Amino acid sequence: MTVAQPAKVDDDIDGHVDAEIAECLNLSSPRSFFLFAGAGSGKTRSLVTALWHIQKTLSESLKLKGQRVGVITFTNAASDEIKGRLLFDPLIDVRTIHSFAWSLIEGLNHDIRKWLCVELAANIKRLQGEEERGRKGTKASTTRLSKITSKTNRLQSLNGIRRFVYSPTGDNRSRDSLSHAEVLQLTAHFLTEKPAMQAILAGRYPILLIDESQDTNKHLVDALFAVHTAQKGKFVLGLFGDMMQRIYNDGKEGLGENLPEGWATPGKKLNYRCPGRIVTLINKVRSTADKQQQEPRSDAADGFVRLFILPSGLTDKAAAEQAAGRRMAMITGDEEWANPKSIKTLTLEHRMAATRMGFLEMFVPLYEVESWRTSFLEGSLPAARFFTEDVLPLVKAKQSGDRFAICRIAKALSPLLTSEAIRAVEDKKAQLQKVTTAIDLLMALWKNGTDPTLLDVLHCVAQSTLLAIPESLQTNAFPGESLDASDPATGAPEGPESERAEAIDKFLKAPFSQVEPFADYLSGKAHFDTHQGVKGLEFDRVMVIMDDEEARGFLFKYEDLFGGKSSGEKTVEATRRLFYVTCSRAKQSLALIAYTDAPERVRKFVLQEGWFSDDEIITEIWG
């Protein structure tokens, strides 16, 4: 079987799209729009082009009225990229969804308190009902009772809170803080129920553009549609997205369908990123979901795709994946496939990357604390950040003999070199020598090739006061001292047997050698990432690891996608969308590795669907 390549088309086929969007941005006759932009079609380019048009044509009139243009992005990285392309123009307010939502409701303390009173009371009543119906003495019962107590205490303390606070990148664990979910719920509620809020939003941002709109919180999207209806003629809502790339459950299903009357619906057909063979594959994958099909650019290469079907019981999957890379080097003639660091390898779950990169012991304990997960993955959790951003740079600078970097890091981070510490001593030279001695003591932990644990490093740094110890590590750093760990405002564990305390204990047993690969992974510098984490990105060589057993997830099931016993249509379609996203990241060549207990069934299914030809399927990589 041969898979037919798509015909290449005129590269100007989408030339009308940006002009059509520009017409919508005329505030004399504003028109909201939904831009369909499939993978690699230049969605961000069209968004930035629209903003450039606004800068050129509307800048003065917006400034005179004290108005700005709002842009909601999915990630901080996307926000930073757009700001940079616009030369950080203050007229364009670019934020992530949580930051944008908080900017609308910050300071509405009375209204927030009223909403929380109702919401908490409803949650307590629901939990009490579940507890009455449920079995007593079970783990589920213990969790329910704990939640009832926590929510009851919070409800009773609301009247004592004068001002509510929130950080889009923090843990928000203090009594006066709101959670990430609450900020979105509050904003959606206020925008839906309060006409004054609708008028304030439209007055502040007569144009609001949303990137990755298919994954934007559905309640907030519905609220913005309500604003559009109430403020018609005064408010442009511009949505940029592709429903096939919706991979998060809180996105709005069917976005782009049944839009209000008068909306523009421009669409982009050209795929600038992928070679012809990959465009054919992703068109086939999405063909059962919708009728949207793409074309490769006129100068696109043919490209390479291979599906490796391997038994799920393999003991050394990392070795199998390296062997697949070597096979890809032979097939493509691209020797970089033989170098794992030149391949972007996508795993379904962070643990899979942690296993392959060698930082599992330090990763799992903190990752499994749900209340820490967001800040942990963003690199802002103090317990982990202490090692990745304070200790690691200092150790690397010392190991490389970079005296300038050592001085810079110590001056910026060491309590021994604060202006107060220097003023407090008469012998300044002795104080500097104290820092040098502390660094030497730290580096002695690596003597004779030793790999110290994180706890070893923490104790050494704490004893010499070389670096400031975050509160969440103080109990471990100074085990003889007691702290008031029950105060949620401190961010410290709630007790020695608490989940967070146990997680910290396990985390600190990990070897320090795991810190650098972990830091690389969080920063995006590593050659591993998750299927979900690369949306919007592109790479020359992509390897997609599909392993339901190792991933241990329930939202995505590749076995179901490949013709297995279905967990349900929603699971299959969610996995299909994720498969589309991962395949469409490749600019040159693509290797897909499916671990399965039914290799022949998978092979027959993909052939029947026309996704691959016989010669593109490999079942033996060492032969």
Q: Is residue 171 domain-shared with residue 193, that is, in the same domain? A: no
Domain, as residue range, for 576: 303-348+531-618
Residues forming a β-bridge with 591:
306, 543
Residue 280 lies in a domain: no
Residue 82, number of CB atoms within 10 A of its CB: 19
Using DSSP's 3-state secondary structure scheme, residue 267 falls into strand
**Which residues in the chain show pLDDT less than 50?**
482-497, 623
- Two tokens at 116? 């929380």
**E-only strand ranges, 489-569:** 528-530, 539-546
Residue type, 113: R
User: What b/e sequence results for 393-417 when a residue is b if at least 16 CB atoms lie within 10 Å of its CB, and e otherwise?
Assistant: bbbebbeeeeeeebeebbeebbebb
Same-domain status, 401 and 494: yes
Q: What angle do CA 619, 622, 623 make, to 5 degrees?
A: 80
Residue 199 resides in a domain: yes
In a domain, 236, yes or no: yes
- Confirm if 201 and 227 have CB atoms less than 8 A apart: yes
Q: Where are the alpha helices (DSSP H) in 368-514?
A: 373-378, 382-385, 392-399, 403-413, 419-423, 428-443, 454-464, 471-477, 499-507
Buried/exposed code over 539-559 (b: 16+ C-beta within 10 A; e: otherwise): bebbbbbbbbebbeeebbbbb
Residue 160, Cβ density class (10 Å: 0-12 exposed, 13-18 middle, ≥19 buried): exposed
Phi and psi, residue 210, nearest 5°: -120, 115
Q: Are residues 175 and 191 in the same domain?
A: no
Check residue 144 and give its pLDDT: 87
Is residue 1 in a domain?
no
Q: Are residues 226 and 340 in the same domain?
A: no
Using only the alpha carbons of the chain, give its radius of gyration: 27
Q: Which of 141, 161, 179 is the last residue of a domain?
A: 179
Among all chains, which residue has been given the structure tokens 């991962």? 582
pLDDT for res 171: 64
Q: Residue 114 domain-assigned?
A: no
Is 84 domain-assigned? yes
Closest CA relative to residue 492, chosen from 160, 158, 171: 171
Q: How many CB atoms are closer than 10 A to CB 235?
A: 23
Domain end residue (candidates: 456, 490, 520):
520
pLDDT digits (tens, 9 = 90+) for 293-319: 999 999 999 999 999 999 998 989 999
User: Which residue in 392, 623, 536 sits closest to 75, CA to CA?
Assistant: 536
The distance in angstroms from the start CA to the end CA of the chain is 22
Question: How confident is the model at residue 51, as a pLDDT?
Answer: 97
- Pair (87, 227) in one structural domain: yes
The Cα–Cα gap between 299 and 276 comes to 10
Given 520, 543, 575, which residue is the final one in a domain?
A: 520
Considering the domain architecture, whether residues 76 and 209 belong to the same structural domain is answered as: yes
Q: What pLDDT digit, counting tens, does each position of 199-214 carry? A: 999 999 999 999 999 9
526 in a structural domain: no
**Total structural domains in the chain?**
4
CATH number, domain of 83, equals 3.40.50.300
Kindly report the length of the chain. Answer: 623
The residue whose two tokens read 């050209």 is 270
Do 219 and 153 share a structural domain?
no
**Residue 5 falls within a domain, yes or no?**
no
Do 610 and 490 fall within a single domain? no
CA 295 vs. chain centroid, Å, equals 29
The answer to whether residues 344 and 369 belong to one domain is no
Residue 319 sits in the same domain as residue 222: no
| Cβ atoms 468, 418 nearer than 8 A | no
Give CA–CA dist 588/362, Å, rounded: 35
169 and 53 in a common domain: no
Q: Is-contact 247 577, C-beta < 8 A?
A: yes
> Do 320 and 338 share a domain, yes or no?
yes
Instruction: Assess contact for 263 and 31: CB atoms under 8 A.
Output: yes
